[in-house]
Structure 1
Amino acid sequence: MTPSGDGKTAPPRRAEVREAVGQALEEAGFYAARGLRPPTRRVDPPKVGAVVARLADATRQELLTFDDPSGCLRQGVPEGMLRHAADCVRRAVTQVPTLRQITSPQGLAQDGALETIQWRNGGQVRLIEQIPVRLAVFDRTTAIIPLDLDVFYNGLLIIRDPAVVKALFRLHHHSWGSGDALPADQGPDLPPAHLVPILVCMRDGLPDRAAAARLGLSARTYARRVSELLSLLGTTSRFRAAITAQRRGWI
């Protein structure tokens, strides 16, 4: 990983990460077949929900995830499954001392109703442009990744090989270092979670069409959320809204 211009660690490239994960799993399978490492267990779609819940409930010290609800929505994951996943995370944040979630601006923008991203309730969250894979690491001893690297609903792998779990932990650690903290870290006066990505786009000076495309929203939805944000800040001026948001520590 190399430093970026602002001193942060540059995020890992998605294609390189996915190739490296595939290679690590192949190596793990080679050694597992010879009894030298714990085997990777495959979980088919009907059992995914129960397995994820069991692993999350058994976690005691640390849960690390790459989450992006927008990717699940695009791939047609049923709402019931998304709500089940959100429930697992909500329970985890009450019992696990450290919950660190990495998501994208698109993921946060579309998570308002689900609350999979627990940035308001004690979880730590950072934003990166695009998550490289879906991932969860439980107490640095067990990890899960989707069979297709994108959606747990389509099936997953349970990994207990220490070498692979350590590599996935490091991936999360480096991505965390390259991510942007949310205003949740700055005080109790906070905007609604679904408006945070709108603030980021306004801060970055993106035109509405480009901002909507970045967040995976329709132009109408983006405009509605801008209006909601302006109303929340008590102004009709985007310039004054930016000043007020900055004074409140939102950006």
Structure 2
Amino acid sequence: MARSPADDQRQAEARAAARETVGEALAESAFYAARGVRPPAQVIPAAKVGTVVMRLVAATRRELLTFDDLSLCLNRGISERMVTNAADWMRLAVARIPVVRQITTPRGLACDSGIDTIQWRSGSQARLIEKIPFRLTVFDRAAAVLALDQHAMFNGMLLVRDPIVVAALTRLHRDAWNGGDNPAVRDAGGPPAHLVPILACMHDGLPDHAAAARLGLSLRTYSRRVSELLALLGTTSRFQAAILAHRRGWL
């Protein structure tokens, strides 16, 4: 079902509230860390991110939680080697850690096809939300890393061990998890009935005006349904939508 502007607004407000909550928790943590009461957060430069993440994954025994979205890395100068390393870390985590819960977006899941940083088919659990509030990994509810920007952990991250901040991050992840969609459910069955002829027209390569005429729809309605189908498949590319639809057995 297509989202309404009101839905988008509510989700934007929830993301803003989550970022504000984290910002306030980090500011409070810094205040007490300066007085020696809580452990200080540590900025990890880009050159050391891989080493630190591997060390944290290797030390994790019970649970790993993530907010991640590979689509945010696209066209941002993130090398293929870095993305491959991230997939390797997640394979290691899934093999060793009993509970791995990953939250991504439909577009992020589509972009991840064939890379597998989201290991939901190979042992992790996953949920889909429309947009992640920030990039995050929580290790055994004892440590967490936050990306210094929205694009990738590889550009640098903040390592947090303050238990109060880590608990706040864990709660935010839990709330998003409880409100997210299971990707296996999205994969089940086919598209909604009103989008089946849209998919067929796209598969036949018809221009929008010809497809709209074939289906007896206005050009505006046809374009809106194409956008709905792309959103359902988690992509903005019609070419990629065809590939994803084939993989799901919709074509």
Length-normalised TM-score, structure 1: 0.77
Following superposition, the deviation at residue 84 of structure 1 comes to 0.6
- Correspondence list, 1:76-225, <5 A: 76-183=77-184, 196=187, 202-203=191-192, 207-212=225-230, 215-225=234-244
After superposition, the C-alpha distances for 1:38-84 in whole angstroms (9 at most, x for unaligned) are: 01011001111111111111110000001111111243321111111
Q: Closer, same or farther in 2 for the Cα pair 1:205/1:30, shift >3 Å? A: farther
Q: Closer, same or farther in 2 for the Cα pair 1:108/1:203, shift >3 Å? A: farther
The alignment partner of 1:13 has SS state of helix
User: CA separation in 1, counterparts of 2:181 and 2:155?
Assistant: 29
Structure 1 equivalent of residue 201 of structure 2: none
- Is contact 2:109–2:118 with CA below 8 Å preserved after alignment? yes
- Is contact 1:44–1:155 with CA below 8 Å preserved after alignment? yes
User: CA separation in 2, counterparts of 1:165 and 1:205?
Assistant: 44
Moved more, 207-216 or 132-141: 207-216
Q: How many residues align?
A: 211
Which runs of 5 or more residues in structure 2 are unaligned? 1-9, 196-224
- Is contact 1:39–1:160 with CA below 8 Å preserved after alignment? yes
Structure 2 equivalent of residue 69 of structure 1: 70
- Is contact 1:208–1:222 with CA below 8 Å preserved after alignment? no
The alignment partner of 2:159 has SS state of strand
Following superposition, the deviation at residue 129 of structure 1 comes to 1.0
User: CA separation in 2, counterparts of 1:167 and 1:201?
Assistant: 38
Structure 2 equivalent of residue 42 of structure 1: 43
Aligned-CA RMSD value: 2.4
Structure 2 equivalent of residue 245 of structure 1: none
Structure 2 equivalent of residue 55 of structure 1: 56
Q: Supply the AA of the counterpart residue of 1:33.
A: A
Q: Closer, same or farther in 2 for the Cα pair 1:176/1:228, shift >3 Å? A: closer
After superposition, the C-alpha distances for 1:6-25 in whole angstroms (9 at most, x for unaligned) are: xxxx9771122112212211
Moved more, 220-229 or 14-23: 220-229
User: CA separation in 2, counterparts of 1:201 and 1:133?
Assistant: 31
User: CA separation in 1, counterparts of 2:118 and 2:143?
Assistant: 21
- Is contact 1:201–1:211 with CA below 8 Å preserved after alignment? no
% identity of equivalent residues: 47
- Is contact 1:145–1:156 with CA below 8 Å preserved after alignment? yes
Moved more, 167-176 or 67-76: 67-76
The alignment partner of 2:154 has SS state of helix
Structure 2 equivalent of residue 249 of structure 1: none
Length-normalised TM-score, structure 2: 0.77
- Is contact 1:143–1:159 with CA below 8 Å preserved after alignment? yes
Compare CA radii of gyration and give the structure with the larger one.
2
Q: Supply the AA of the counterpart residue of 1:97.
A: P
User: CA separation in 2, counterparts of 1:228 and 1:59?
Assistant: 34
Moved more, 133-142 or 49-58: 49-58
Q: Supply the AA of the counterpart residue of 1:135.
A: L
